[in-house]
């Protein structure tokens, strides 16, 4: 089993990384302010849509602001967004990917669990990532080879007790195949599974050491690229469903504290095999 963060980092122009990290941090702060000012206060998703597909005025406002700033600062780097772009072209070099409000159903209801996620990605994975956690007044940020920080304080896994919590998320159509079996296997091992409604924050909890692992059966790049940057730089294992190291695997994602990665992977694989 390969831990992604142990791989040699692919070099990126340090000047680009510094400017990207500073710009992403400013955008995350802006988004946090907007989300806190509007959450649960008259947000109006489109009528008749599923909560998993809601797009609010706040999503659109934050997307426009993010595009405007990034286009001005990085005119040669395309920006891909959850709400307007179908998928990310894999042949694109550097690209920005943004989810303006990850956890929109929670945001609309005023449930304090949603995030703004932004990442600069290249062919090897996230280069820079930020996740704003507005309700906890936290900005999590990481850059390739520069570590992870939470409100400026360095974060590194190692030495802390392993959490008894594992996170996962529903698919857009409901529970993923084998999800019930996965929850049962975790429970037998004394681990509780939590489904809280934000893929970005689920992965971020692992990077912070609050959760032992996060299993995402399906996702889009913009859902988790920012949080995967945090996980890699904090020292978490980032694996596909076969247990191979992969930055943003196309068929599911496991992010875990290294001590439990193999065990959680076995729960996941076994539950899908039934």
List residues forming the annotated binding site for Mg(2+).
82, 99, 102, 223
Binding-site residue numbers are: 82, 99, 102, 223
* 265, two tokens: 């992977």
CA distance 102 to 1: 30
DSSP letter at 250 equals T
DSSP characters over 200-234 = HHHHHHHHHTSSSEEEESS--HHHHHHHHHHHHHH
Beta bridge partners of 103: none
Taking each helix axis from N to C end, the angle separating 261-273 and 179-188, rounded to the nearest 10 degrees, works out to: 140
The 10 Å CB-count burial string (b at 16+, else e) for 236-273 is bbbbbbebebbbbbeebbbbbbbebbebbbebbeebbe
* 121, two tokens: 């990605």
DSSP letter at 162 equals P
What Rg, from alpha-carbon coordinates, does the chain have? 17
Pairing of strands 192-194, 165-168: parallel
Residues in the chain: 274
């Amino acid at each position: 089993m390969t831990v992604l963060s142990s791989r040699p980092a692919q070099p990126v122009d340090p000047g680009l990384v510094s400017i990207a990290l500073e710009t992403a941090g400013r955008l995350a702060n802006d988004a946090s302010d907007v989300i806190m000012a509007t959450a649960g206060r008259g947000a109006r998703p489109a009528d008749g849509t599923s909560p998993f597909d809601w797009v609010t005025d706040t999503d659109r406002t934050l997307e426009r602001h993010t595009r405007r700033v990034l286009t001005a600062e990085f005119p040669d780097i395309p920006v891909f967004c959850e709400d307007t772009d179908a998928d990310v072209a894999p042949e694109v070099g550097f690209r920005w990917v943004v989810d303006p409000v990850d956890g929109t159903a929670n945001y609309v209801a005023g449930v304090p669990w949603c995030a703004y996620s932004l990442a600069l990605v290249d062919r090897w994975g996230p280069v820079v990532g930020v996740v704003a956690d507005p309700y906890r007044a936290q900005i999590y940020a990481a850059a390739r080879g520069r570590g992870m920080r939470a409100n400026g304080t360095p974060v590194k896994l190692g030495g802390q007790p392993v959490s008894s919590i594992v996170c996962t998320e529903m698919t857009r159509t409901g529970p993923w195949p084998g999800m019930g079996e996965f929850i049962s296997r975790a429970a037998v091992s004394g681990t509780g599974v939590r489904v809280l409604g934000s893929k970005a924050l689920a992965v971020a909890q692992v990077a912070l050491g609050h959760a032992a692992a996060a299993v995402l059966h399906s996702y889009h790049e913009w859902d988790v690229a920012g949080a995967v940057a945090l996980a890699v730089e904090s020292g978490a294992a980032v694996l596909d469903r076969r247990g191979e190291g992969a930055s943003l695997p196309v068929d599911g994602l496991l992010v875990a504290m290294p001590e439990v990665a193999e065990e959680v992977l076995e729960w996941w694989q076994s539950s899908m095999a039934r």
